[in-house]
Amino acid sequence: MSEAVNGRLVSVKTKFHREAVRPGGINRSGANMSSARSVEALKAQVEDRLEASTEPLVALLRDWQAERAPQGCDWAGQVRDLAGLAGLHLLTEVAMHCFDCLDAVAIDGVVLKPTEAAVLADALAFARQDMCRGSDLEPYRSLLQDLTTLSNRVVARAEQDGVAR
C-alpha cells in the first residue's frame, strides 16, 4: 500500500515503440515461415551439440561424482534447451529433472545417491532415442511421474537439511 503512495505512473514511449509500428514490417505468418527456416538451418548443429552435451552427462550420472555436479548442471541445461529445438520433448522433460537434481547437489549440497543418478542416466539414454521424438508425452506419463517423484525427493533433502541445521 505504501508503495502505491510513494510511486507514480509514467508514460513510456521509446524508439522501439516508434519504429516497430512503422509500415513495411513483417507479419506473423512471414515471421513464422522465416523462423521455421532459421530453426531448420540450425537443426544439424543442434543435433551435434545435443550429442556433445548428452553423452558426458549420461557418463557422469553413470559414474556419479558429486563434485562434478556444477558441470553436470551446465550439460543438463544445454540438453534441456537443445532438445526442445530438436523436437525431442521427452528429452527436454528428462533433462529438466536432471537439472533440478544436479542443481540441488551443486547449490544446496544435498546427496544424490549413485542409484538415483543411474536412474536419471537411463532415462536420458532412453529419451535420446529417435522413437521418442515429438511432443506427445502421454505414452511416457508413468516414466515422467517417477522422475518427478525422484527429483522432488532429492530437492526436498535441501529443506530437510535446512531444518536439521
87 Cβ neighbours under 8 A, 6+ residues apart: 133, 134, 135
Is 47 a binding residue for other proteins by CB under 8 A? The answer is: no
Q: Give the one residue of 59, 70, 114, 134 binding other proteins; rule: CB under 8 A.
A: 70
Is 162 a binding residue for other proteins by CB under 8 A? The answer is: no
Which of 35, 160 has the CB closer to other proteins? 35
Q: Give the one residue of 49, 62, 68, 133 binding other proteins; rule: CB under 8 A.
A: 49
Is 79 a binding residue for other proteins by CB under 8 A? The answer is: no
40 Cβ neighbours under 8 A, 6+ residues apart: none
The CA distance from 128 to 101, in Å, is: 19
Is 19 a binding residue for other proteins by CB under 8 A? The answer is: yes
Other beta carbons within 10 angstroms of residue 126's beta carbon come to 15
Binding stretches for other proteins (CB under 8 A): 3, 6-17, 19-28, 30-32, 34-39, 41-42, 45-46, 49, 70, 73, 77-78, 80-85, 89, 92-93, 96, 99-100, 103, 106-107, 135, 137, 141, 144-145, 148, 155
